[in-house]
Copies of this chain bind each other. A is one copy, B any other.
Amino acid sequence: MGIVALAGGIGAAKLLEGLYAELGEDLTIIVNVGDDDTFFGLKVSPDLDIITYTLGGIIDPARRWGLADETFKCIAALGTYYPETWFNLGDKDLATHIFRTDRLNQGKSLAEVSHEIAHKLGLSCTILPATNDIVQTKLYTSQGVLDFEEYFVKFRAGVPVTKIDYRGAADAVPTPGVLETIARAERVIICPSNPMLSIAPILAVPGIRAAVAARRDTTIAVTPIIQGDAVKGPTAHLFRELGYDVNPLGVVDYYGADLFAHFVVDARDEDLLLELSPDRFPLPVNFTMFDTLMVDFGKRLELAKYLLQYPI
């Protein structure tokens, strides 16, 4: 049985800390690979690493990505050979990318390598990339069609987006175990990640959206938008640019009410629920409130417990 969480990177990691503390090996995390990219010939999987490093207790606590006590000597030296080194890779972090690249070149799947990395870091939960195939989140902007990392790091998410697509998704196959785990899970949790950049590339892999929708009654999503803004990242202005309300209701509109029956709004947005019309969505969604800001580990654990105990 167990619990399944759909997750991106930074937005999901805090909640996953709480869920992992509660569940250990009973937690399966299905992770976005739409941000994955190749830099200097090295295969980088940002969301997988953020989650693995966070749960392994070695994440940089200020940046919330990369490793604590990191140095950046190699990336500086790479500037001798490459014209662009805007994607900042720490010296210790590079070891993970070197290992991943080496194993993938030996014919291992991304899921196998991710399992090895999680195992080496001592994690007992299951971490599955949504697919072993390549899915690339592409953002259409005035600067052209950008890869996620170009958009997010090089342009600091500062250029307006007119369209997003998940290139390769239509031909991708879910990682073995993903559909089965969703089908058998006690409940499915959609983490407070960026819906368009982190969760949608997972759902775009054929079969995954339908598998979650089939578990609609036991699926709970957590809002990534609190009081009209995201805790971190470009969620709010992407919603605005692409024509959605920048509030939890816009999040439900974007996902579609067929995906989940339960939605956690931050307690700070209580007013929104008071005015909510019962026929606002084509299918009824149970809204509930909790503190979703998760400022410390105690708050992460509280939200995790709430999601696990919430009556469905």
Closest Cβ of chain B to A112, distance in Å, is 13
| Residue in A75, A94, A98 with the greatest tally of chain B CB atoms within 10 Å | A98
Name the B residues within 8 Å of A81 (CB-CB).
95-96, 99, 116-117, 120
Whose C-beta in chain B lies nearest to the C-beta of A41?
Answer: B102
**Contacts A73-B73, A74-B74, A80-B121; is A40 near B99 (CB within 8 Å)?**
yes
Closest Cβ of chain B to A28, distance in Å, is 23
Closest Cβ of chain B to A101, distance in Å, is 6
| Residue in A91, A92, A106, A116 with the greatest tally of chain B CB atoms within 10 Å | A91
Check A170 for interface membership: any CB of B closer than 8 A: no
Complex formed: what's the CA distance from A95 to B79 in Å? 9
State how many copies of this chain the complex holds.
Answer: 2
* A contact residues, range: 20 to 34
Complex formed: what's the CA distance from A41 to B71 in Å? 22
Would A92 and B117 count as touching, CB distance under 8 A? no
From B40, B98, B121, A40 is in contact (CB under 8 Å) with B98
Check A77 for interface membership: any CB of B closer than 8 A: yes
Whose C-beta in chain B lies nearest to the C-beta of A69?
Answer: B73
Name the B residues within 8 Å of A76 (CB-CB).
92
Closest Cβ of chain B to A105, distance in Å, is 6
Complex formed: what's the CA distance from A121 to B81 in Å? 9
Complex formed: what's the CA distance from A40 to B67 in Å? 20
Besides the known contacts A77-B93, A81-B96, 5 further A-B residue pairs in the complex with CB atoms under 8 A apart? A77-B91, A81-B99, A81-B117, A81-B120, A91-B91
The 9 closest A-B pairs by CB, nearest first: A41-B102, A77-B95, A73-B91, A77-B92, A81-B99, A78-B95, A91-B91, A74-B91, A74-B94
